[in-house]
Structure 1
Amino acid sequence: MALFVMIIRKMMNNKWLSASLLLGMTISVALVSTMPIYSEAILSRMLVKELQTIQQERGYYPGAYFARVSFAEETPEQRESLLKDMDAYMQGTGAHGFTLPVLETVIQRSTRSIQATPVTGTEEDLKEKRSVRFTSLSGLNEHIQLTDGRMPSGQSEDGVYEVLVTSNGLFKLKTVLGTEFEAISEDTGEKIRFKPVGVFEKKRDDDPYFSNPSLSGFDSAIVVDQSVMDRDFLGANKVSVINNSWNIVLDYSKMELRQVDDFLQTDQEIRNFMKQRISVFQTAYTVPVLDTLDQYDERTSRLKTLMWSLNVPVLIMLAFYMFMVANLIADRQKNEIAVLRSRGAARWQIAAAFFVEGLILSAAAWAVGPFIGLFLTKVLGASNGFLSFVSRAALPVRVSSQAYLYGLAAAGVSLVMLLIPVLLATRASIVGRKQELARQLRTPLWHKLFLDVIFVAIAIYGLYTFRTRLANLKNLGLGSSDLNIDPLQFLVPALFIVGAGLLLLRLYPYLLRIIYWIGRKWWRPGTYATLIQVGRSSSQYQFLMVFLLLTIATGVFSASAARTINNNTEDRIRYASGADIAITSVWVNDKPAPAMGGGPPGAGASGDTAAGISSEPVHYLEPAFEPYEKLPGVEHAAKVFVKQNANFSVGDEAGSATLMGIDTYDFGMTAWFPSGLLDHSLNDYLNLMASDTRAVLISRTLAEQKQAKAGDTIWIGWANSQSQPFVVYGIIDYFPTFNPNPPLGSVVASDERTKRNAPMLIVGHLSRIQFQLGLEPYEVWLKMKPGFSSAALYEAVEENRLPVTELVNTELEWNLEKNDPFLMALNGILTLGFLISIIVSFFGFLLYWVLSLKGRTLQNGVMRALGLSLRQMIGMLVLEQALTSGIAVVIGIFVGNLASSLYVPNFQIAFNPSALVPPFHVIFDSFDYIRLYAVVCTMLVLGLAILGGMMARTRIHQALKLGED
């Protein structure tokens, strides 16, 4: 207990250091805890959204669990016993094992089919037999409504069962309500009589109660009350019950990722339960959600890998911060440690005292860190871009046991970081401590081991291997999953930042010597003293400078990575659309009516389809274009004709390519196209075309594959159209919507064959194409005014009754993309990393210099006593900051920019490299730098103000008295 009290008192004496160390530990635990919390929350949201999309697009309820058993050789008594046992299991353990709210558990029983004939009717009716089966569903009355007749009674009247039928079932019976039927049971030979008294339909079309939404399964079914089924058919066996199903309707909107394992386990338990009682060949299961759940193990793994990769630079920065604070703690107590060692204390005893102190701090960080991580996760969920937050539905976050395990690991690493400098400090005795104080110019360990060179070499090798693999992905038309990309590729930026920063710091002493040598004849005493102080004690500043450059470089890298990924994703969407709005509409035509089961006649939208149906040419009537130009918010409109697989020949070469027909002026005013992709601006190429209606632009892929060049004549046509001559006026690498990369999956053995798989493009004048080749449907591209209303545009399309079949809204596509969990993770984590870097940088900077200034109280007092004014002392402090913190910030900014230029392109591997058009390029946003510089300047100015105030309060006599003591 006495030892514990001593440790608490020591912590109170070093309260600022202990608080700073606790801050670093807490942030580390919180940051690491966000990984399982965020991945679970975002994937839970994604899972629910995907299930909602399935329900909307495919028309069935994905949250249902349907199981059916069929009986063959079991006796009636065995069937009754088994079904009652299964009913209890499915309604109890089975349904609740999914850990989701159970909306309904529907038990449906069906008998074998029997042949029934009406009791009264014409001779033909009496001879015709109808095949029917008795069916019952639990809770049916709450989910149906009668369209005719009445509800049946639960008892048989005069031996006649009253039943319900659907309208199709009544039609199949070829009868009317109230007609009595008679059948003979094959099981008992007993006569069974029934009559339909009501026709029913679903109350709601989207009611998940029914496993078959169309009710087609009831066409041959006559529905009786469940009590009648259990009493007379299951119990008395008038007709054998051969099928029984359970439809467990679950509220999938409450599903979270943590419940996936419970769902899969319960599914397996139900199957095992059935297998033990019924032959496996007599069971069937329909679980729509299983296909979706099977993908989530891989998605979870990918998201966690991404989060670790993005957080590594921040974690390294926090490790340096904690090591720096721990080193300051050990440095302040080295005299005390040396005294204890000289008086017989063992190293392990001293280390044990610090271990208890660190254990208290790490335990406190572990206790509160996951809850801070919970808050940080909510911040990540609200991110809409880098340093951009919106109000959206809260993520389903919770502090899980896995979050505590991650936090425990982070707290353990933090504890180790604290003990390392302590263990190093316990090696020295009093004599060794005095020697250490006298030898300020010692070489750092990383300098001796050349860790900086090793880290940079590893990072450059990783960059080389990644670029080689990425080139293979693009050239072979592969997806990111086709090659095994080592996740460590995402970690090399952190190695490069550390290695490059240390490498530049290796040159730092030489820089100081150069500065000293340049002005050695003109330096004032204060400047001279500062240069001597910094030059002779440069090792004291190493940790601070490494820490500052890491935090600044990490902030720059995070800002650049986030901006690059967001802007490139937006550019990719806009490039693929071509304009703000792309509209496809129906053209009136004389296309022959399709065969049965085809699309609606007259609704053809392309000549390709027509050519596939008939060899005769299809004639189209062009709709009015003016209504599109007058839609609300439209700034410019353009006609864009796209013909896939148009035939061409140039010289002795021939092939097929995508043909685009445009009006050059309208297209240039409407289309979206980034600058820098072509040798000249897009408008220059369009102006070149405008001078001659025969002019066409061809893609470089076509020029390389077919040896075409500017000035060549190229013949273009398609099926049912005679080829016409055009002239090549220019060769382009990119054009709106055109992807020159080989299509996904076109893997071939040689580079030469790979080039032949690259898509080709021809761009010509729409007017000439329509006049000489044929009039076929074109798309309408719209450039919208800033801040246009999508709702107003859609309403105008409906009001004007424009025959629109497809409308692509680039703004909506981009908004959907921003809700992708991986893009949200990128934005959220990089934003969080940037903010943490700045906050921790400020605290680390301030802490170091406050303690440093306190440690030099005697030195400052002596200088004041020698005649230096307060203004000169503050000037010396400013110069010292410029030579240490200032240079570290400059190095951090340089290294961050260099790391961004080299390694931010690595993030494109998270997408499909073959579809990344325009090419992935690094973006540096000046606004991010303004914010970063503003924060850094504020940090330095505020720190200097605090340090200047401390220096101003220093009393000369107190400092000198301290020296005498």
Structure 2
Amino acid sequence: MISAFFHFVAQRIRSQFGLVACLWLGVTLAVALAASIPVFVTAVQLRVLRNELLSLNTAIGRQGSANYLPFALQFSFATTNENSLSHSAYRALDAFMRERIEPRTMLPIVETATFAQTPPWRMFALPGSPTAEQYEGERVLALPTVDAMSNFSRHVIIEEGEPLPDDGALVAAAGEATDAPVPVLISRAFAERYGAQAGDTFLLSMTQTRAGSDAFGGQAQETVEVQVPVRIAGVWLPRDPREDYWGLSPDTFKDSLIVTPKDFDARIAPLLNTSVRAARWQYILDVSKLSADSVEPFTARARQLQREVFRENRDVILVAALLDALDRYLATSRELLLLLVIFSAPVFAIVFYFVVLVAGMVVRQQESEITTLRSRGASISYILGLYLAQSLVIGVAALTVGIPLGYGLASVMAGTLTFLQFGPPQPVEFSLLNADGRFAGLPQSFRFALIAAGFSLLGVIAPAVGAARSNVVSQHADRGRNTRRPLWQRMYLDVLLLIPALYGYYQLRGQGSIALPGAGGAATADPLSDPVRFLLPVLLITALGLLAVRLFPLLMGLLAKATERVAPTPVVLAFRELARSPKDIVGPLVLLIFTMGIAVYGASIAKTLDEHLKTTTLLRVGADLRLIETGESSKVTLAPGELAQGKKISDPNEPEYWTFLPPQGHLDIPGVTAYARAAQMPAQAREFGIFSFKQVIMAIDRRAFQDVAAKAYRDELSSQSFGALMNALATSRDSALVDRNFLARSNLNIGDSLTLLVDPGRGNTPITYTIRGGFDYFPAITTGKDDPVAFVTNIDYTFEKLGKDVPYDVLLSLQPGVSGHEVAQAATEKEYIVKDYLDAQAAIRDAQSQPARQGLFGVLTAGFLAATLLTAIGFVLYALVSFRRRSIELGVLRTIGLSEGQMAAYLILTQAALVLLGALAGSLLGALAGTLFIPFLQVGGALVNQVPPFIVRVAWGDLIVMYAAVAAALGVALAGTLLLLRRLKVFEAIKLGMVT
């Protein structure tokens, strides 16, 4: 019985293999997209985390850097001398760390580094030794601590002398004490400061109090002096100060005497009452074994170990920097995951609707079979069981292919540069085991995939629920009611959805955000993590799309009325068919409008954000490359110690002058096509009778600047073109361009004089200019609300009034593909003094590699391509399936006298009108939603620059791909329909209609 049931299921799948394959494709796309989101998030965030943990501060080196964070669990003990550990207490604590903590770090340990430090000792030259002859008297030479560090010799270079034996464990050393000096290592800084060298011997001394008795036999404290002779075995330098071993900077030990843990335990610590004032246990972990799914369990384990250590000794703490970084990773991963799920919601809706549409086609193709089974005694549960088994087969096949496809999609998304542009795919990780080798449970990607498959399969089964209840009578009755409107039209769902969409837009326009209960500060929230701002336009597209579908038959009816007396018969028939069969056209029309609208809106978001990034970056930099240069100053500055060598410093009252290399020398650098000077200086302008601060003047080479900075200016951002502004600046040598906001506040007009106090670095110089124009935004000057008011002047006139040239930036135009870094290096090699540089293209690439931006553009691209594919497939299926369903009607039309050519024209017009009007309506709705809602994505947030304002750009160029796909689908549909028409046998179609 069971085998017969599944055999019947297999036969049904084979009989409708094409439609079932399309169902499988839709479910597979849903699974792949769902699986790709968590995989992408974990891949890019883990990459960011590892870069943060493993990055080295190349600018200042490891030494003295507080920003370097080794991937290690670091337990630190540090307290005052009164609370220092005794020798026995330290040994017990160290044993606890080795036996209870070290084996349970979860990730593999690369190296264990321990450190223990005594209180400071007084250091003397050892009496009677050759060293004592070098120092006069019995004075204290230094106050070093004695530090024991495991594996120290592996990580240092011995400049002089010999290394200590490598001893990484604290062991009992009873009986090993001798009177020989303890070998120690000193740093180069210690050696230079105190003149010590290998072979020198010293005496360490410290005062201790011990329990004793007084003259009467009572208890008393006696003071004793403990002494340890030491010998300088060698002078050390760190082999690589950026190694993870140096959880504390090597400079921390510059005044320490380094001994082996064995000597520390046997010959140093036993002499002291409280022998350890600071200690550290550092477990350097293998970061390559850290997977995305193991981060949360690892942090939980680390905090559990922290609690256990705290119970053992309250003064031992876990250094929180690593856990803080992991917590930031978890928080940003959750935020990014939520963001991408929200932005993927429309794509999932498209896929789900496609699945429901195709499932409906499958069920309608099998209506006769269902009614036959019902008439022969099959129960509703049996029919539903058939579709459930069929759905499970589709689901298993979709999961089998969709999950690996999702990992591939995540790899491509991680290399996304911008919309429809990809770099090299980035590696993603897959593992079912956690860091300690045990089964970690289903990855998040699998769980997302199962949820997507479940929802998609509900869409597969849903159409079968109603069909399972039908019989022969209800089936023929349903065919006779083909003009009945869909349920959502009878419930006016389109109007109901339009109300919240319009209300949301009203609130956004009034206050920049949606006022949600309890959501204080929503107006300043990041728009790309605010779901309402993105889902509202989707809601608007859906509502207006459904409204357009409602009005479509009315429009077709009007066209049929208008053309019935003048148009050929196929035209009238086509319009009447579209007007009288709303139930048949709703599915493909909604799919066309919704997918086209979402695609246009998503592509417009991508294009607007992309162009805005380029605009803001070029506006900030001012050109392709901006070299921040300086010149040779007449002022003499001395390095530390040079004053003591007799060198003279410049008189502070003397004026400062600068000399510069000729700027045209930049043109000799390969790849540089043009240059312009731009000098920025603080300035003060007389405003409302006082001098106002927070203002800046930028003096430029007008002609050269126009050539170099033209690409950074957007005419649509200002009331004047860039050429007009440069012409205004050329009116006279004292011309000035002024920020329009300043003009409005100060009641100044074009042609008025403006006096500025210009500060070139040492005192203010008044310079009078004539206002020749105003600007809203200007290249190389940031113009946000908190930025200084800006003035633009001629550089030669400004330098002339200052009486000297002052340092300036050099703006360069580069040939495509030229590296700004290499140009800056070449300028340095030509002896230009380049303090820093701003590379526009490098800044754009850095911004494009942000995880949130990569994910957003990856999802938009994936959604766009999925919508294109599903729209094309859905329409082809609709055309072919509808022809088979209407073969009886077509046979009747053929028998009453329509020629084959008229039939072909009728079918072509029907499908072409549906596609063209659906695509047009969807495109217009997407453009409308973009125009209305995209500007609100700039309100708040860090991913989108606030200045200048958005210029909404509808991505008509990118939509050529989708229009081409729809046109190709229309062509395939028409070709298939005409082929079926040629093969149609009228008598068979009519006879079939009589039988059914």
Same fold (TM over 0.5): yes
1:920 Cα offset (Å): 1.1
In the alignment, what sits opposite 1:552?
596
Q: 1:27–1:369: 8 Å Cα contact kept in structure 2? A: yes
Q: 2:78–2:278: 8 Å Cα contact kept in structure 1? A: yes
Question: Does 1:86 find its partner at 2:93?
Answer: no
In the alignment, what sits opposite 1:77?
88
C-alpha distance 171-735 of structure 1, shift in aligned 2 (>3 A): closer
C-alpha distance 616-290 of structure 1, shift in aligned 2 (>3 A): farther
Matching of residues 302-321 of structure 1 within 5 Å = 302-321=335-354
Secondary structure in 1 matching 2:733: coil
In the alignment, what sits opposite 1:630?
668
Question: Hey, what's the Cα distance between the residues in 1 that align with 2:944 and 2:42?
Answer: 30
Aligned mate of 1:375, from 392, 408, 423: 408
1:683 Cα offset (Å): 1.0
Q: Deviations over 1:111-161 (max 9, x none)?
A: 344334313224834443643443322222222221111234687775332
Q: 2:339–2:529: 8 Å Cα contact kept in structure 1? A: no
Aligned mate of 2:263, from 224, 228, 233: 228
Question: Hey, what's the Cα distance between the residues in 2 that align with 1:431 and 1:943?
Answer: 32
Aligned mate of 1:358, from 387, 391, 399: 391
In the alignment, what sits opposite 2:221?
none
C-alpha distance 916-617 of structure 1, shift in aligned 2 (>3 A): farther
Question: Hey, what's the Cα distance between the residues in 1 that align with 2:144 and 2:703?
Answer: 70
Q: 1:721–1:774: 8 Å Cα contact kept in structure 2? A: no
Q: 2:123–2:204: 8 Å Cα contact kept in structure 1? A: yes
Question: Hey, what's the Cα distance between the residues in 1 that align with 2:889 and 2:701?
Answer: 79
Matching of residues 554-633 of structure 1 within 5 Å = 554-591=598-635, 593=637, 618-633=656-671
Question: Hey, what's the Cα distance between the residues in 1 that align with 2:574 and 2:461?
Answer: 33
Question: Hey, what's the Cα distance between the residues in 2 that align with 1:501 and 1:597?
Answer: 78
1:925 Cα offset (Å): 4.3
Matching of residues 156-235 of structure 1 within 5 Å = 159-171=180-192, 174-183=195-204, 186=208, 191-213=227-249, 215-233=250-268
1:199 Cα offset (Å): 1.5
C-alpha distance 597-687 of structure 1, shift in aligned 2 (>3 A): farther
In the alignment, what sits opposite 1:35?
37
Q: Deviations over 1:426-483 (max 9, x none)?
A: 454543332221111112222222222232332232233234444999xxx9994489
In the alignment, what sits opposite 1:762?
791
Question: Hey, what's the Cα distance between the residues in 1 that align with 2:505 and 2:613?
Answer: 22
In the alignment, what sits opposite 1:45?
47
Question: Hey, what's the Cα distance between the residues in 2 that align with 1:836 and 1:717?
Answer: 60
Question: Hey, what's the Cα distance between the residues in 2 that align with 1:129 and 1:695?
Answer: 69
Aligned mate of 2:755, from 697, 712, 715: 715
1:893 Cα offset (Å): 1.9
1:725 Cα offset (Å): 2.6
Normalising by structure 2, report the TM-score: 0.86
In the alignment, what sits opposite 1:68?
76
Letter in 1 for 2:233: V
In the alignment, what sits opposite 2:914?
884
C-alpha distance 591-494 of structure 1, shift in aligned 2 (>3 A): same
1:176 Cα offset (Å): 3.5
Secondary structure in 1 matching 2:715: coil
Of 11-20 and 480-489, deviating more is 480-489
Q: 2:633–2:659: 8 Å Cα contact kept in structure 1? A: yes
Of 528-537 and 876-885, deviating more is 528-537
Of 680-689 and 585-594, deviating more is 585-594
Question: Does 1:706 find its partner at 2:746?
Answer: yes
Letter in 1 for 2:74: F
1:836 Cα offset (Å): 0.7
C-alpha distance 232-158 of structure 1, shift in aligned 2 (>3 A): closer
Question: Does 1:724 find its partner at 2:754?
Answer: no
Aligned mate of 2:161, from 149, 153, 160: 149
Secondary structure in 2 matching 1:579: coil
Matching of residues 317-396 of structure 1 within 5 Å = 317-338=350-371, 347-348=380-381, 350-391=383-424, 393-396=426-429
Q: 1:701–1:740: 8 Å Cα contact kept in structure 2? A: no
Question: Hey, what's the Cα distance between the residues in 1 that align with 2:465 and 2:396?
Answer: 21
Q: Deviations over 1:712-746 (max 9, x none)?
A: 22211135334233222222222113344322xxx
C-alpha distance 180-617 of structure 1, shift in aligned 2 (>3 A): closer
Q: 1:163–1:195: 8 Å Cα contact kept in structure 2? A: yes
Q: 1:663–1:766: 8 Å Cα contact kept in structure 2? A: yes
Of 898-907 and 347-356, deviating more is 347-356
Question: Does 1:464 find its partner at 2:506?
Answer: yes
Question: Hey, what's the Cα distance between the residues in 1 that align with 2:495 and 2:88?
Answer: 82
In the alignment, what sits opposite 2:448?
406
C-alpha distance 598-886 of structure 1, shift in aligned 2 (>3 A): farther
Question: Does 1:139 find its partner at 2:148?
Answer: no
C-alpha distance 741-130 of structure 1, shift in aligned 2 (>3 A): closer
Q: 2:335–2:529: 8 Å Cα contact kept in structure 1? A: no
Question: Does 1:854 find its partner at 2:890?
Answer: no
In the alignment, what sits opposite 1:111?
118
Q: 2:411–2:425: 8 Å Cα contact kept in structure 1? A: no
Letter in 2 for 1:160: P
1:540 Cα offset (Å): 0.8
Question: Hey, what's the Cα distance between the residues in 2 that align with 1:615 and 1:288?
Answer: 49
Paired residue total: 928
Q: 1:479–1:912: 8 Å Cα contact kept in structure 2? A: no
Q: 1:232–1:238: 8 Å Cα contact kept in structure 2? A: no
Q: Deviations over 1:490-530 (max 9, x none)?
A: 11121122112111122211221222122212343434433
Q: Deviations over 1:655-685 (max 9, x none)?
A: 2322121222111111121221222211112
Q: 1:80–1:235: 8 Å Cα contact kept in structure 2? A: no
Q: 1:162–1:224: 8 Å Cα contact kept in structure 2? A: yes
Question: Hey, what's the Cα distance between the residues in 1 that align with 2:421 and 2:943?
Answer: 27
1:286 Cα offset (Å): 3.4
Letter in 1 for 2:686: S
Question: Hey, what's the Cα distance between the residues in 1 that align with 2:539 and 2:896?
Answer: 47
Of 347-356 and 24-33, deviating more is 347-356
Q: 1:305–1:487: 8 Å Cα contact kept in structure 2? A: no
Of 723-732 and 180-189, deviating more is 180-189
Question: Hey, what's the Cα distance between the residues in 2 that align with 1:258 and 1:928?
Answer: 37
Question: Hey, what's the Cα distance between the residues in 1 that align with 2:431 and 2:739?
Answer: 53
1:654 Cα offset (Å): 4.5
1:576 Cα offset (Å): 0.7
In the alignment, what sits opposite 1:673?
713
Aligned mate of 2:465, from 408, 423, 431: 423
In the alignment, what sits opposite 1:24?
26
1:76 Cα offset (Å): 3.8
In the alignment, what sits opposite 2:557?
513
C-alpha distance 369-575 of structure 1, shift in aligned 2 (>3 A): same
Question: Hey, what's the Cα distance between the residues in 2 that align with 1:649 and 1:305?
Answer: 51
1:342 Cα offset (Å): 6.1
Question: Hey, what's the Cα distance between the residues in 1 that align with 2:101 and 2:788?
Answer: 56
1:322 Cα offset (Å): 1.4
In the alignment, what sits opposite 1:437?
479
Letter in 1 for 2:43: A
Question: Hey, what's the Cα distance between the residues in 2 that align with 1:484 and 1:952?
Answer: 53
Secondary structure in 2 matching 1:723: strand
Secondary structure in 2 matching 1:318: helix
Secondary structure in 2 matching 1:927: coil
Question: Hey, what's the Cα distance between the residues in 2 that align with 1:842 and 1:615?
Answer: 79
Q: Deviations over 1:257-290 (max 9, x none)?
A: 4343234223312321221111x2x224434434
- What is the alpha-carbon root mean square deviation over aligned residues? 3.4
1:53 Cα offset (Å): 4.4
Normalising by structure 1, report the TM-score: 0.89
Q: Deviations over 1:222-250 (max 9, x none)?
A: 22233333444567979834433112223
Question: Hey, what's the Cα distance between the residues in 2 that align with 1:499 and 1:845?
Answer: 21
Identity of aligned residues (%): 24
Of 37-46 and 708-717, deviating more is 708-717
Question: Hey, what's the Cα distance between the residues in 1 that align with 2:183 and 2:85?
Answer: 29
